[in-house]
Amino acid sequence: MKNQEFKPIKAIKIEKGIKTSELVDKMGDIGFNARYISQSSKILEEAILDKECRLFLGFAGAMVPGGMKQIVIDIIDNNYVDVFVTTGANLTHDLIEAIGFKHYQGTTNISDEELNEKGIDRIYNVFMKNEVYVKLEKFFEENFDELSKAKSPREFLYLLGKIIPTKERSILKACYEKNIPIFCPALTDSGIGLMVWGQLIRKKKIDLDFFDDLAKMIDIAWGVKKSAILYIGGGVPKNYIQQALQFSKAASYGVQITTDRAEPGGSSGAPLKEGISWGKMSTNAKFSDVFCDATIALPLIYSSLLDSVGKIEKKEL
Amino acid sequence: MKNQEFKPIKAIKIEKGIKTSELVDKMGDIGFNARYISQSSKILEEAILDKECRLFLGFAGAMVPGGMKQIVIDIIDNNYVDVFVTTGANLTHDLIEAIGFKHYQGTTNISDEELNEKGIDRIYNVFMKNEVYVKLEKFFEENFDELSKAKSPREFLYLLGKIIPTKERSILKACYEKNIPIFCPALTDSGIGLMVWGQLIRKKKIDLDFFDDLAKMIDIAWGVKKSAILYIGGGVPKNYIQQALQFSKAASYGVQITTDRAEPGGSSGAPLKEGISWGKMSTNAKFSDVFCDATIALPLIYSSLLDSVGKIEKKEL
Amino acid sequence: MKNQEFKPIKAIKIEKGIKTSELVDKMGDIGFNARYISQSSKILEEAILDKECRLFLGFAGAMVPGGMKQIVIDIIDNNYVDVFVTTGANLTHDLIEAIGFKHYQGTTNISDEELNEKGIDRIYNVFMKNEVYVKLEKFFEENFDELSKAKSPREFLYLLGKIIPTKERSILKACYEKNIPIFCPALTDSGIGLMVWGQLIRKKKIDLDFFDDLAKMIDIAWGVKKSAILYIGGGVPKNYIQQALQFSKAASYGVQITTDRAEPGGSSGAPLKEGISWGKMSTNAKFSDVFCDATIALPLIYSSLLDSVGKIEKKEL
Amino acid sequence: MKNQEFKPIKAIKIEKGIKTSELVDKMGDIGFNARYISQSSKILEEAILDKECRLFLGFAGAMVPGGMKQIVIDIIDNNYVDVFVTTGANLTHDLIEAIGFKHYQGTTNISDEELNEKGIDRIYNVFMKNEVYVKLEKFFEENFDELSKAKSPREFLYLLGKIIPTKERSILKACYEKNIPIFCPALTDSGIGLMVWGQLIRKKKIDLDFFDDLAKMIDIAWGVKKSAILYIGGGVPKNYIQQALQFSKAASYGVQITTDRAEPGGSSGAPLKEGISWGKMSTNAKFSDVFCDATIALPLIYSSLLDSVGKIEKKEL
């Protein structure tokens, strides 16, 4: 083993008041998963600074209730993200906060039966009042005429971002302001979807073309010179980006944060390198898989990016 | 501790030639996860034999490449399932086999770079030839006029089941024959979705109303007297059923097979009991969470059901 | 891809009354983890039938409370195992059942506070009465003169197997009868260890040479022509066998059943192939890692072995 | 739901140059696992500042190769830890670095066969030269006369800490200097154990009483007014502390960092609250389970402790 081949592990030494970005740097000198936190920061830094590269963010899980909303907004405000693909759930929870509701720090020590009686919905250790749906319905009733002008899910979400209140900042508004397209292939599988359904049964009309979104998504993937992927969780957001890459060109940079396992064969737990076989990831891509709850990994990685890159110029699609 | 309260663990004794259903029974006498395999069989048995109850099957993951296709077909043929919710991926792989292609037993010992060169796509330890997409495209070209008559994703999948070749049995055909509705909320996020896109860029037309499916799904959930859920993997299929239950009435029986973790807060890893807080699962429901790769758990549970229940009469929705 | 290289996935078809061994066979034709269940059976079958090979069983976890005791006894009675390495916990629970106590099917729905009040100890969904320790202490008081003749942990466990009651069959007795050495490197880290301590504070004496066990373990590993390993869980049992192989010769066959993850770098979650780098596993070894709760995987694998191999002649060390 | 009962989630807002301790604080305002990072810091802070409380550190896994050595040394130097329980592996790797060797940043992209040829041992993504064992053996040959004066494993490790070179700081030396007892119940299951064996086959003698350590451990647990536990990984270190608490008095504070799962019933994956049923954890204890790779979680928690508590006075046992 030549010394130039393998760098020695340098045990992390922490000084008082250590900055998060310094800690992430030091993680790059050790082993196991901490190292991938650092490596992911470096890869994303390079991708963001690469003017030819556009970043596709796949954002699954219950990250808004989990407290990651502001970081995603900041990522958008800093112009790191060029295409945003997410679940209806994350957008619904974003909207719920935008219209004045909150999520709460819950506990695993209360039974779900008791929560049910109290009208509280559980998302592991986060709680939400079930009454949000009443006000959510009202919001859609009042705004449906405007929203129903949309011809595709992404237009619908653009309009939603436009009319959403501004008191509490939201991902929907941030994407609207930055003109970042939001793709939500399973929009009908969400509270927002249900609210639309609630209008349709009141004889309102809407006609969203989900295939128009797919066409747009592949167009974008074809149009970019180079692409980077950042998957927070797996699910539909990951797969939707992956398939666009497969049918256009392979990604040059990739970071994935998930706790799912690879062995059962699902897309969510598949390591990024599997994408190489499919042509979704370039054979000379730089990529890193982080096995960690995103509520821990994402703040670390973002802190590092903020200190090293800061805000960049918006890239055009 | 009264003996009537807690049953003693009875260590599993295996005799030569033991039937799978006998083994599953014995698993009911022990601890840890094996016990939940047995418990799940019993719950599903009760749900299937309950004439007032309808079963919603949420089927995610890469279960067709993984070799679970025939069991799902048999479950459908035996009239256990009343509503089928799945990913576009499972349907795409089902279709791929129906038009004459195969999946292969791969290995983790070949690099993804080498597979890429050979035109092989990896799904963990399962391989697929990339050339399937050529024939898949041809299939859609030849059949798009018929398929494009569909007005909703479930009609589209019904027509697909109708025209699909019969030489190799498929889930699509089984559902078609039994008139089981297939819901696939993220249809555009799949090979099938991409094939539709491939026709649309050739100026063909299709207009699928995804909200019509949502309305139908909730109608069905409202219409049934009692409901049972079986989640193989999580993802959109699970959440789509969960939200229909939340907006209609709570499930009476539930079984979930997943290896995802609860701690990161995602829907896929959430234990079934969380559904109680939301009103998705009845407070007096019988339910069981199995932490196991579905390729192991499902054959065990199905073997037990086949021996105890066999084929039942089709229930009407 | 040549057809001779990769075998097509053959979806599992289950017939009524299917034997467990038939199901395991069929699992060999599919993907993901089910395939490794079948593969593990085949590897162990070959190892057991290989007259030059000796099997080292590493048995961690809470497998006796979990209900796996009888299968391990049968594996011993069938002469599959030549060296048994385990935790003090498994032996303590084995002894607890041998002196007349039971483990119980518990539930995750009772709080640990309530269990504490009732004098019940929880092992996930298995319960044990805390009063077992009183009788356990009495057993050691009555038998300590005999037990204290032992000069090493394995002699101590041999004597324990000799004097243990026979009414309820036990692993300790089975190993005693078959003269299978039991290695328990962390014996002081267990209920049995605590019981010995309980005698020592009553001024009794015992002098167990833990390094004598280590010497014997390495002697055995050196002496065998070929070795096979079966790890049920990781921990000390796995590592103790691994290090003996490293300092003697690499294993020819290996099966590991665990749900631990590889990424955090611990020995318990390390895939078997890592052993190749260390020289613990032969470069041409046949091995298989099963990601599954052992209470599910072990009965499947053993059922297959029982039908294919049955009882064999005892091999000499 | 009253507002006083449940605090709203406050999405993390990261400013440039954010300190790690500030980030950890903010994690206390959100959900999922990040929250437990913060909660763990607060619990440990309280435990460390509680003058009646003594901290038992259970340190498993391959944390020294993973790069956590210096943090553990700093924890010892800051007088946070009063009793140290670990695996032979961690001590062996600590010793290996102390006598001049290094661990290296490896990669998962090199095959284990190739590593074997090159004489490199893999610990996931960390590498070690196999030649360390030659120098390790020499070290033991030169120092065995001194080491063999020990009458118990903890005395042996104390002497090892005494004679170990000082050029590279080590855990062994830090414990020696602070007179922190090191318990290593499975010492024979390690490289150090093997080195002792290597001397014994050269007719050297040593007589270590492992039950003397157990007696001492329980004495300490009895003697302290209050106890706190910090488990980094599970295995023998965790269980050895747990059983000492069970046979003395329940812990008042607890933090556990592991990625093991609870469902298979093993001690390593058992949540801390299970300890309440056994009387290992007090019914009114403050405790927190962190599901995270320790190479990520530990630096975060320690950074927070360093900023909030700094160095404290050594507590006496």
pLDDT tens, residue by residue, D240-295: 999 999 999 999 999 999 999 999 999 999 999 999 999 999 999 999 999 999 99
Q: What is the dihedral of CA C116, C122, C127, C128, to 10 degrees?
A: -70
- Strands (E) in B138-220, as ranges, are 182-183
> C38 forms bridges with which residues in the sheet?
none
Contact A135, A99 (CB under 8 A): yes
Q: Is A291 on the interface with B (CB under 8 A)?
A: no
Task: Please tell me which chains touch D, using 3 or more CB pairs under 8 Å as the contact test.
Answer: A, B, C
Residue D70 and residue A11: Cβ atoms within 8 Å?
yes
Asked if B32 is an interface residue toward chain D (Cβ–Cβ < 8 A), one would say yes
> Which pLDDT value is given to residue A3?
44
Q: Which helix (H) or strand (E) holds D90?
A: helix D88-98
Statement: residue D222 has pLDDT above 50: yes
Q: What DSSP string describes D122-182?
A: EETTEEEETTHHHHHHHHHHHHHHHHTT-SSHHHHHHHHHHHS-SSS--HHHHHHHHT--E
What Rg do the C-alpha atoms of chain A give, in angstroms? 20
Residues 188-207 of D with CB under 8 A from C: 188-191, 193-194, 196-197, 200-201, 206-207
Local confidence pLDDT in tens for the 317 residues of chain C: 444 479 999 999 999 999 999 999 999 999 999 999 999 999 999 999 999 999 999 999 999 999 999 999 999 999 999 999 999 999 999 999 999 999 999 998 899 999 999 999 999 999 999 999 999 999 999 999 999 999 999 999 999 999 999 999 999 999 999 999 999 999 999 999 999 999 999 999 999 999 999 999 999 999 999 999 999 999 999 999 999 999 999 999 999 999 999 999 999 999 999 999 999 999 999 999 999 999 999 999 999 999 999 999 999 99
Per-residue pLDDT of chain A (317 residues; tens, 9 = 90+): 444 479 999 999 999 999 999 999 999 999 999 999 999 999 999 999 999 999 999 999 999 999 999 999 999 999 999 999 999 999 999 999 999 999 999 998 899 999 999 999 999 999 999 999 999 999 999 999 999 999 999 999 999 999 999 999 999 999 999 999 999 999 999 999 999 999 999 999 999 999 999 999 999 999 999 999 999 999 999 999 999 999 999 999 999 999 999 999 999 999 999 999 999 999 999 999 999 999 999 999 999 999 999 999 999 99
Q: What is residue B154's DSSP assignment?
A: H
CB contact under 8 A, B32 and D291: no
| Chain-chain contact of B32 with D261 (C-beta, under 8 angstroms) | no
- Model confidence band, residue B5 (pLDDT cutoffs 50, 70, 90): confident
| B72 vs C contacts (CB less than 8 Å) | none
What pLDDT is attached to residue C5? 76
Closest-CA distance of chain B to residue A13, Å: 29
What is the C-alpha separation between C296 and C210, in angstroms, rounded? 34
Cβ atoms within 10 Å of A142's Cβ, excluding its own? 11
Instruction: Determine contact: C23 vs chain B, CB below 8 A.
Output: yes
Instruction: Output the CA angle D93-D98-D100, nearest 5 degrees.
Output: 100
Whether residue C110 lies inside any domain: the answer is: no
Interface check D293 vs C, CB under 8 A: yes
Give the chain B residue nearest D262 (alpha carbons): B32
Residues of C in contact with D277 (CB under 8 A): 112, 115-116, 120-122
C-alpha dist (Å) from residue A164 to A136, A146, A174, A288: 12, 12, 10, 36
> Residue B302's domain is classified under what CATH number?
3.40.910.10
Q: Which of A32, A261, A264 sits opposite C265 (nearest CB)?
A: A32
C222 touches chain D (CB under 8 A): no
- Tokens representing B276 are 């109680």
Task: Map residue A43 onto helix, strand or coil.
Answer: helix
Cβ-defined contact of A31 to D103 (cutoff 8 Å): yes
Please tell me the distance from the alpha carbon of residue D189 to that of residue D162, in angstroms, as a whole number.
Answer: 22
- Three-state DSSP at B8 gives strand
Contact list in A for residue B112 (CB cut-off 8 A) is 273-277
Q: C171 near C91, Cβ under 8 Å?
A: yes
C-alpha distances in Å from residue D184, one per residue of B52, D172, D191, D244: 60, 12, 13, 14
CB–CB of A189 and B185 under 8 A?
A: yes
With beta carbons under 8 A apart, name residues in chain D contacting A102: 8-9
The model's pLDDT over D72-88, given as tens digits with 9 standing for 90+, comes to 999 999 999 999 999 99
Question: Is A124 a member of any domain?
Answer: yes
Percent of chain D scored above 90 by pLDDT? Answer: 97
Round to whole Å and give the CA distance between B294 and B209: 32
Chain C CB contacts of D126 under 8 Å are 265
Contact with chain C for residue B101, Cβ under 8 A: no
pLDDT for B85-100, tens place per residue?
999 999 999 999 999 9
Mean pLDDT of B36-48: 98
Instruction: For residue C118, tell me if it sits in a domain.
Output: no
Length of chain C as a residue count:
317
Cβ B129 vs Cβ B118: under 8 Å:
no
- Please give the backbone phi and psi of residue A137, each rounded to the nearest 5 degrees, phi first: -60, -45
**Alpha-carbon gap: B183 to the closest alpha carbon of chain D (Å):** 31
Q: Output DSSP code: residue A19.
A: B
Task: Give residue B30's pLDDT band: very low, low, confident or very high (50, 70, 90).
Answer: very high
The C-alpha angle with vertex C202 and arms to C197 and C204, in degrees rounded to 5, equals 75
Q: Which of A32, A264, A291 sits opposite C32 (nearest CB)?
A: A264
Q: What is the pLDDT of residues C47-56, one digit of tens each?
A: 999 999 999 9
Please answer yes or no on whether D19 and A14 come within 8 Å at the CB atom. Answer: no
Is some CB atom of chain A closer than 8 A to the CB atom of C35?
Answer: no
Find the CB nearest B291 among D31, D33, D263. D263
Domain count, chain A: 1
Contact D207 C209 (CB under 8 A): yes
Report the pLDDT averaged over residues D299-310: 98
| Chain D residues touching residue C130 (CB < 8 angstroms) | 278-279
CA distance B17 to B38: 19
Of the partner residues D14, D26, D71, the one whose CB lies closest to the CB of residue A74: D14
CB contact under 8 A, C265 and A31: yes
Q: Any idea which residues of B carry the catalytic annotation? A: 280
Asked if D296 and A34 come within 8 Å (Cβ–Cβ), the reply is yes
In-domain check, residue A170: yes
Interchain proximity D18–A20, CB inside 8 Å: yes
User: Considering CB atoms only, which of B12, B103, B259 is closest to C8?
Assistant: B103
In chain B, DSSP finds a helix count (H) and a strand count (E) of: 13, 9
Please check whether residue B219 touches A, CB under 8 A. Answer: no
- Note whether residue D81 is domain-resident: yes
Q: Are C263 and A291 inside 8 Å of each other by CB?
A: yes
- Establish if D289 belongs to a structural domain: yes
Is there a domain that residue D54 lies in?
yes
| A266, closest residue in chain C (CA to CA) | C32
Structure tokens at D130: 């196999």
Interface size between A and B, measured as CB pairs under 8 A: 202
d(CA B99, CA B135): 8
Nearest CA in chain B to D112: B109
- The C-alpha atoms of residue D282 and residue A243 are separated, in whole angstroms, by 52
Q: Which structural domain, as residue segments, surrounds residue A113?
A: 39-308
pLDDT of residue D3: 44
CA distance D260 to chain B (A): 11
Within 8 A of B291 by CB-CB distance, chain D residues are 261, 263-264
Residue A58, phi then psi, degrees to nearest 5: -100, 120
For chains A and D, CB pairs below 8 A equal 231
| C5 located within any domain | no
Q: Do C261 and A263 touch (CB under 8 A)?
A: no
Per-residue pLDDT tens digits for D150-165: 999 999 999 999 999 9
Nearest CA in chain B to D264: B32
Q: D interface mutation test: which of C85, C189, C292 has the most D CBs within 10 A? A: C189
Whether ipTM > 0.90 holds is yes
- Within 8 A of A33 by CB-CB distance, chain D residues are 293, 295-296
Q: Which chain A positions have a beta carbon within 8 Å of D66's beta carbon? A: 9, 30-32, 34
